[in-house]
Structure 1
Amino acid sequence: MSLKERLTADMKEAMKAKDAGKLKLSVIRMVKAAIKNQEIERGHELSDEEVIEVLAREVKMRRDSIPEYEKANRPETVETLQQEINILMEYLPQQLSQQEILELVKKVVHEVGAQSPKDMGKVMGKIVPLTKGRADGKLVNELVKQVLQGEA
């Protein structure tokens, strides 16, 4: 079952759940719309990898807006965003732990022969495809910086 088929099946389940599935239903509808927009933009039906990119982008958007709502003292909105992130995470591949990311970063740094923060671009260019949809980009970036500065 493809990710798009799974989203459709889960959307039907959420519709049947009435009030209990309202948030999940709205999140799935929003994601399906984002996927459809990407399909129109790219001119073809998205593969599972491309759907994962859309899902990861949606999670990132929510994570990025949480601090703003916290500053504005809007705990109910922060809670809703966190619930939406949890729903979206169900469709993403198993996330890498910080330790697994660190191991991967060290391996890539060794492979490309990076020795200083100046080599950040080389390392990021190689590691981003390996962690796409499986790790938060900010965390990966921070760990790469730490390794290149000799802190990790």
Structure 2
Amino acid sequence: MDILKKVILVVFTTYCINLHGNTEVEYFDNNFEVKDMYFIMDDACSSDTRATFKKFSKSVFLANFKISEDDLITTDNKDYGLFIKPYEISKSEIDYFTSRNIADFIKYRLLIFAFYPEIESKLCMLGFGVFPEAWDGNKWIRFESNKKIEENFLQKYIKEKRAF
């Protein structure tokens, strides 16, 4: 793994440890890996860039998932990520989000987030992560996403950005 990816992983993991929401959130770990996300590096990043990306992400989440604003969680301290509270889905639904054939488990859920941390001055990482998980009776097992939805959301953002 090259040094930039290591730095990004450390920075992103650090910022995503403390989350808050309006209600109690079911546990999920913060061991997200850069290779499991779909992102771009923006070298003209500002607080406006990050705010615009967050606003876009919020609207995309509300339009594409059966959630309300109460289901959104942001990172504590500094605003570097927007999560949808983990929510359960069916076996047939989870198959859409991963290219892997998932065996039968007790239940399934999705972790979905947008991230927009500033890596260094004027450089930020903008992207999405969708993480399908399955409960085996003892723990949640995370599967790699097929990146379809992350790519779709990011392409929409890029098209909107170019329109202005």
Pairwise TM-score range, normalised by the shorter structure:
under 0.3
More strand by share: 2
Give the number of the structure with larger relative contact order, counting CA–CA contacts within 8 Å between residues 6 or more apart: 2
Structure ID, larger Rg: 1
TM (normalized to structure 1)?
A: 0.26
* TM-score computed with the length of structure 2 as normaliser: 0.25
Task: Identify the structure with the greater helix proportion.
Answer: 1
